[in-house]
Structure 1
Amino acid sequence: MANSPFLESIRHVMRTKHYSIQTEKTYLLWIKRFILFNQKRHPKDLGEQEVTQFLTHLAVNRKVTSSTQNLALCAIVFMYKHIFERELTLLPDAIRARAPTRVPTVLSHKEALSIIGLMKPKYKLMFSVLYGSGLRKAELLKLRIKDIDFDAKNLFVFRGKGGKDRTTMLPNKLLKPLQTQVEKVRAIHTKDIAEGNGMTSLPPSLARKYPHAVREFKWQYLFPSTTRCEHPYDGYFCRHHLHSTALARELKVAVKSSGVAKHVTAHTFRHSFATQLLMAGADIRTVQELLGHNDLRTTQIYTHVIGQHSSGVISPFDID
């Protein structure tokens, strides 16, 4: 099924709609699983009943989380809407996975700096940006030279989660390290050009609109990969951004060495950015804009994290 013409047709539609590579892989994986669950019957011969059974199977037998079940549903809905031009109406007897109410793990300022301080220089800068600017990991990796405004002390996030653009703050302490990083990228780019390359990876739509941008310095990634690779859509050899697994490896080692007894991911630094701002008295609407949240309720989860620190409430055990 790996070379299935049907799956390739879905891939083609997703690329014409400029979905990310990661979304493409994930959607195709869930569509493949849906087909296999139904004994490889063609999806055009299936409908609401089969989709309901598949979702129930995921919740009851596979015990997936609600977000995983919703992701599978989104993939299937995409297939029926854009391939078969058919809207699904889910049956009410589908068992949906419960979404647990979670409070995000956050680091104190001291813990965040202790972990970052144990990293190699390149990763130290990357995690400093995560913590200092509140970026998501994917947003950090996709930063390009043009996205840094040293004069205004801003970072421009192009097509963040949900396809939204936004700006966020750039800490004063990171200005010089980032300027140094820009010069390192310039040296890499100059060497690539001398070797007859110098191209970065661009979305197909941008590459067609700005054909010369692919070799321009301002479009180079701020944290480029150490090697060049083939562009997944257009086939030219280019220098992509650093892979996310490199960050995960560095973080795992640093957390272990720091002795911080918390489950820490790259996203934990974004959570910590938000809570530190709120504890310092920042307006929650401002924090919402910096994080790029659509709904204020998403940002309000951090008020549960800071709890007593925001209201002045103390435990009766601490009363003299």
Structure 2
Amino acid sequence: MLLTTCNEELEQHLIQKEMSPETIRSYKGHNDMLIHYFNTKNNGPTFVDDLSTEDLEGYLHYLKHEKGYKPASLNVVLNAIRRLYQYTIRKKYVPTNPTADIAQAKVQREERAFLNAAEINELLEAIDHKLIRLLVRTLAYTGLRIRECIDLELKDVDFKNKVIRVINGKGGKNRLIPLSDELAVPLQTYVKNKRPKVSSNNFFALKRTGTISDQYVNRELKAAVGKLGWTKHVTCHTLRHSFASMLVKNNANIPTVANLLGHADYRTVTSVYIHVESAELADAVNQITLV
């Protein structure tokens, strides 16, 4: 069977399993690249049983050394290929899985950038676009992923019960996020007085498109960071890290933080979102008295 056909079948299988559209697009896109590479290399269509472990390792080597892929990106590609071959094994299209013995690339964990409350306020002041300023404020107060925020509909923001409903978040999960008074007031003002009259149900809507793109938001963030003269890399995801870090610093328990962020495994919170500044480390050490 053609590898292209298997990839199309996998896409339909993942849709039926109600996996998130972003995950499906990622798997399909990376596997399309794989298929194009081998079709071009072999000057003809690639069949599912054509590729060996060595072929796939060669492809990953090509991405790393010719295309400059970083370890984390290589692992995303490998996960997509693995998912494809797991499907082909289940359907009995191939007898063995050529990805079984391919190891994940080692990723050196770097401390993630995050902002404190004062820096977030500075950032908000520096954003010229009013709608994006409000959207960024929402990210900082809720810890939403940018796609979750952009996909919010008017009905998802419940001012009466003071909650934001995240529908079909990452992994297809739903969750509720409390709506703080400091965020509810500007959001209500926006809905009543400033939101353009468009047919779209998106909560955050531009008049021309009825929606807003994550690229546009990140572009405005980059411009604001440049205006402030900051050297740290700030994206929409930085606001999510900042939200989680502030919760942890204010003694919110780890399962609560994980729940608000939509993480199934609370260990993700302890490994990613807990930031300890050097002054806090010094204070902790100075508490030790052996006399």
Q: Percent identity?
A: 27
Choose 283-292 or 28-37, whichever is displaced more.
Answer: 28-37
The residue number in structure 1 matching 2:289 is: none
State the secondary structure of the residue aligned to 1:156.
strand
The C-alpha deviation readout for 1:146-170, integer Å capped at 9, x for no partner, is: 1112233221111111111111122
Indicate whether 1:75 and 2:76 are aligned.
no
Q: Which moved more, 1:117-126 or 1:178-187?
A: 178-187
Task: Report the CA distance between 1:177 and its aligned residue.
Answer: 1.3
Q: Distance in 2 between matches of 1:185 and 1:10?
A: 43
Deviation at 1:133, TM superposition (A): 0.9
Partner of 1:222: 203
Q: CA deviation at 1:111?
A: 0.7
- Counterpart of 1:224 in structure 2: which amino acid? A
Q: State the TM-score, normalizing by the size of structure 2.
A: 0.79
1:66-145 mapped onto 2 (5 Å cutoff) = 66-82=71-87, 85-86=91-92, 88=97, 90-92=99-101, 94=102, 96-119=104-127, 120-145=129-154
Residues 1:180 and 2:189 are matched in the alignment: yes
* 5+ residue gaps, structure 2: 287-291
For residues 245 and 188 of structure 1, what CA distance do their matches in structure 2 show?
23
Instruction: Kindly report which structure 2 residues correspond to 1:149-164, keeping only aligned pairs within 5 A, or say none.
Output: 149-164=158-173
Cα distance in structure 2, aligned partners of 1:176 and 1:141: 19
Aligned residues: 273
2:60 corresponds to: 55
- What runs of 5+ residues in structure 1 fail to find an aligned partner? 190-197, 201-219, 229-238
Q: Secondary structure at the match of 2:104?
A: coil
Tell me which residue corresponds to 2:179.
Answer: 170
1:22-33 to 2 correspondences below 5 Å: 22-33=22-33
Q: Distance in 2 between matches of 1:173 and 1:246?
A: 25
Output the CA distance in 1 between the equivalents of 2:235 and 2:262: 19
The CA deviation string for residues 215-240 of structure 1, in whole angstroms up to 9 with x for no partner, is xxxxx110124335xxxxxxxxxx4x
* 8 Å Cα contact 2:241-2:273 kept in structure 1: no
Q: Distance in 1 between the 2:18 and 2:100 partners? A: 31
> Take 1:112 and 1:224, find their aligned partners in 2: how far apart are those partners?
23
Q: Distance in 2 between matches of 1:310 and 1:164?
A: 36
Correspondence for 1:293: 263
1:110 alignment partner AA: A
Contact 2:248/2:274 (<8 A) preserved: no
The answer as to whether partners of 2:116 and 2:242 remain within 8 angstroms in 1 is: yes
- The structural deviation recorded for 1:186 is 6.9
Aligned pairs for 1:33-48 (under 5 A) are 33-38=33-38, 39=41, 40-48=44-52
Deviation digits for residues 60-100 of structure 1 (CA, Å, limit 9, x no counterpart): 654533332232123223434446724735353x3532111
| Residue 268 of structure 1: how far off its partner (Å) | 0.6
Whole-angstrom CA distance in 1 between matches of 2:213 and 2:163 = 24
Partner in structure 1 of residue 250 of structure 2: 280
Matched, 1:267 2:247: no
Which letter maps to 1:289?
N
| Partner SS for 2:48 | helix
State how far apart, in whole Å, the 2-side matches of 1:95 and 1:53 are.
13
- Name 2:223's counterpart in structure 1: 253
Q: Report the Cα distance in structure 2 between the residues aligned to 1:294 and 1:184, rounded to whole angstroms.
A: 38
Q: Give, in angstroms, the shift of residue 249 of structure 1.
A: 1.5
* Deviation, structure 1 residue 260: 2.7
Q: Per-residue deviation at 1:15?
A: 5.0
- Aligned-partner residue type, residue 257 of structure 1: K
Asked if the contact 1:156/1:166 (under 8 Å) is kept, the reply is yes
Distance in 2 (alpha carbons) for counterparts of 1:69 and 1:20:
21
Once the two structures are superposed, residues 235-275 of structure 1 have per-residue CA deviations (whole angstroms, 9 ceiling, x without a partner) of xxxx4x31111101111111111233311111111111111
TM-score (normalizing by structure 1) = 0.73
Distance 1:95 1:105, change over 3 A: same
Describe the shift of the 1:96–1:59 C-alpha distance in structure 2 as closer, same or farther (beyond 3 A). farther
CA RMSD of aligned residues (A): 3.1
More off after superposition, 166-175 vs 76-85: 76-85
Moved more, 70-79 or 301-310: 301-310
Cα distance in 2 between the residues matched to 1:304 and 1:44: 44
For 1:110 and 1:186, the matched residues in 2 are separated by 28
